[in-house]
Structure 1
Amino acid sequence: MKQLKQHLKHLDYPLFATIISLGLIGIVMVYSASFIYAGMDPDINDSSHYFDRQLMWLIIGIGVFIIASLFSYRNLGRLVKPMIIVALILLLLVLIPGVGVERNFATRWLNFGPILFQPSELAKVAMIIYFAKVYTNKQDKLNHFGQGVLPPLIVLGLVFVFILMQPDLGTAASIIMACGMILLFAGIRLLHLFGLGFIAIVSMLGLIFSSEYRYDRFTSFLDPFADPSGEGYQLIHSLIAIANGGLTGEGLANSVQKSGFLPEAHTDFIMSVIAEELGMIGVLLVIGLYIFFMFRGILIAKRAPDQFGRLLAFGITFQIITQAMINFAAVSGLMPITGITLPLISYGGSSLLITFGLLGILMNIAIKGHFNRRVE
């Protein structure tokens, strides 16, 4: 009990308040974005269906956050190999016909009874921990590309290919970017980092232009009105929602675009509903919370008691921020639509649980950093 009191005393309360604020905004906006769709769907016929499930996952997620914050992050290094193996196996299972669950022309889920689980979410956690651990152990070899930098990149390449085959370019890209930030903060040579970045960009462009589906998705954001009833449909209605919101919005629950016009309003495009109902003020509030979270995460990383904690904190922070940035850019037409959700706000059980787990690890690093400063 004394240890628990000490734990609660040294929580990073600004970080905790930011996380809870984003989660509560998510609960409200999931209900607002989904109640018409859920009420009209004959298979659901319950306007609070998505709200009830999101609330349940939020409560469970907070429990996961608390448990993860109590579990010393240093022990994660021992679990990294099993996590990588399990993540790769699950990513392979998704690709097996009849095993992976298909939705909207993508096969990204596994069915565990009533629960749909997205293995790429576990892959995010596994890769962040793996990169942080490996590059902590290879500090003395980081100047040597073959010995120090290359081996983990092979595992990253496998994960990238498996996720891309689902297809899910957005999630694959967010993992690449988060791992790239770990490489940067680990201290690898800039020449190696820029070289890897160039190879990654060329490879992604090659993959995009080698598939008609990916090419159409990639180019549709440049001129969505060229195919208003096809590839440009989602983006057009997202832009209409943003334009309708103006500065102060149409008012909570008053979005027009969510009423059958904007697909995935409670998942991928929930930010468009926020813009329409709460206006630019609501959008800036959400963006401000993410920016505050980013700076808090960087501060926690700088105060971490060891290199593993430092790289892990940077990886977690930029995994979540990268995902949010990709979502913001997609719904506003600044980049292609990728199908990536908004962390802590969009509807989705596995995404919410994994995000809270990552944030619990980040909180544990913050607590350990506080005790380390006291000792000093």
Structure 2
Amino acid sequence: MANNLTVRKYSKILTRPELPYFLIIWSTIFLCALGLTMVLSSSTVTSLQESGNSYSIFIRQFLFLILGAATAYWAFKVQGAIWLRLAKVSLTISIFILLLPFIPNLGKNINGNRNWIEIAGFTLQPSEFAKFGLILWCAFQLRRIDLVAGKNPIGLIFPGLVVIEGLIILERDLGTALLVLIIFGGILFVSGAPIKNFIAVAILASVISAVLIFSNSYRMSRFAALFDPFDERYYKFSGWQPAHSIMGLASGGLWGSGLGASKQKWANLAEAHTDFIFSVIGEELGLLGTLLVLALYAALIYSMLRIAIKTKDDFSRYATAGIACWFIAQVTVNIGSVTSIIPVIGVTLPFISYGGSSLLANLLAVGYVLGVARRTPEISEGIKLSRMRKLGR
């Protein structure tokens, strides 16, 4: 009898409309806290080599986290009508910021990609914010589907994709170009586009990937190293990162070697605090640590999709679903690269990897989704009832 009462109690909690709201808040807090901890653990060696201070990278990430939290709070509190006005011009804003890296003395070339700008000693990646801008613009366009009889969704948003994708390719950023295509495909799926549209996007993605890979010898070697990064032909070159990433994950076992005890971060695994931080998590926190990360992402994405379903506003629905697709794509591509399922293409792990631009853009998106939840009557009422229950105790 007691077991039945417990089951009923928890089943009621799981069906509460405010649950996605609180899941997003807590999963984001835990991911950011874990990310800050792992950036500290994985970056000390690099920090010491670059600046003579073991904590320089950690301090920068901490400052960006504070700024990101303020940005998320602003996005949460701002009125929905303002987002609609911003979405109307967000494509223009995205195009403008993507052109900034081409300005002399402002743009910066890192690892062959000209997709960075440097301001007052801080480097920013405009394409991180352009992804969010494209999602908002697509949502703004798709809300017109019901008003334009017989209009195919792809006809409304494809021109924006072409412009953004073209600028990102000019910056030679293959990872972001792939992510934008996946996000675009996800938005098309949510809009109910015909299957032929997905086939067209898949063909476009394949063509762009093939051109970018075969036009660059380094990318070709990365693709070849995918099948066996330990092969003598690739191991000391393009296979080095995926090989040592796999070593780190494999050596962690179930419980891990302990926080701060990674061996691969000692000059063996390049970008240990950015693109390959998931490998350090696997090595130091073990299989349980990696499963915890996946569970937190699952809770975050599930909650975003729940909110997208519950909201009655078409613009908010498409934008929230697009943001969920963004996180699905980025988490999948990053972990796929780390585990050598797909070639290494340089994509950060949301909220966890070092990178101010990524953290700011991710927290801005989360703040927007929480704002949508707050403006959804059913969820808003559930939040009020939850607060009353706490006060009643």
- TM-score (structure 2 length as normaliser): 0.87
Alignment length (residue pairs): 363
Shift of 1:115: 2.1
Distance across 2 between alignment mates of 1:333 and 1:354:
26
Shift of 1:371: 5.0
Shift of 1:104: 2.1
Q: 1:64 aligns with which of 67, 71, 79?
A: 71
> Following superposition of structure 1 onto structure 2, how do residues 229-268 of structure 1 map, counting pairs within 5 Å?
229-268=236-275
Q: Indicate the SS of the match to 2:115.
A: strand
Shift of 1:196: 2.8
Shift of 1:218: 2.4
Shift of 1:54: 1.1
Distance across 1 between alignment mates of 2:178 and 2:146:
25
Q: Indicate the SS of the match to 1:108.
A: strand
> Following superposition of structure 1 onto structure 2, how do residues 112-123 of structure 1 map, counting pairs within 5 Å?
112-123=119-130
Q: 1:20 aligns with which of 16, 29, 37?
A: 29
Residue 99 of structure 1 is matched in structure 2 by 106
Shift of 1:179: 1.9
Larger radius of gyration: 2
Q: 2:203 aligns with which of 198, 203, 206?
A: 198
Unaligned runs of 5+ in 1: 1-8
- The one-letter code matched in structure 2 to 1:105 is G
CA contact (8 A) 1:305 1:368 kept: no
Q: 1:155 aligns with which of 148, 152, 160?
A: 160
Distance across 2 between alignment mates of 1:49 and 1:152:
42
Aligned sequence identity (%): 33
Residue 10 of structure 2 is matched in structure 1 by none
Which stretch shows the higher mean deviation, 134-143 or 174-183? Answer: 134-143
Q: Indicate the SS of the match to 1:102.
A: strand
Shift of 1:143: 4.4
Which stretch shows the higher mean deviation, 199-208 or 182-191? Answer: 199-208
CA contact (8 A) 1:143 1:189 kept: no
Distance across 1 between alignment mates of 2:312 and 2:335:
33
Distance across 2 between alignment mates of 1:315 and 1:367:
18
CA RMSD of aligned residues (A): 2.1
> Following superposition of structure 1 onto structure 2, how do residues 1-376 of structure 1 map, counting pairs within 5 Å?
12-39=21-48, 41=49, 43-96=50-103, 98-141=105-148, 143-145=150-152, 148-224=153-229, 225=231, 226-370=233-377, 374=381
Q: Indicate the SS of the match to 2:143.
A: helix
Unaligned runs of 5+ in 2: 1-17, 383-393
Distance across 2 between alignment mates of 1:194 and 1:126:
25
Which stretch shows the higher mean deviation, 297-306 or 132-141? Answer: 132-141
Distance 1:372 1:306, change over 3 A: farther
Q: Deviations over 1:266-293 (max 9, x none)?
A: 0010001001001111000001110111
Q: Indicate the SS of the match to 1:139.
A: coil
Q: Deviations over 1:38-80 (max 9, x none)?
A: 12x1x41111111111111112211111111001234222123
- TM-score (structure 1 length as normaliser): 0.91
- The one-letter code matched in structure 2 to 1:64 is T
Distance across 2 between alignment mates of 1:12 and 1:78:
24
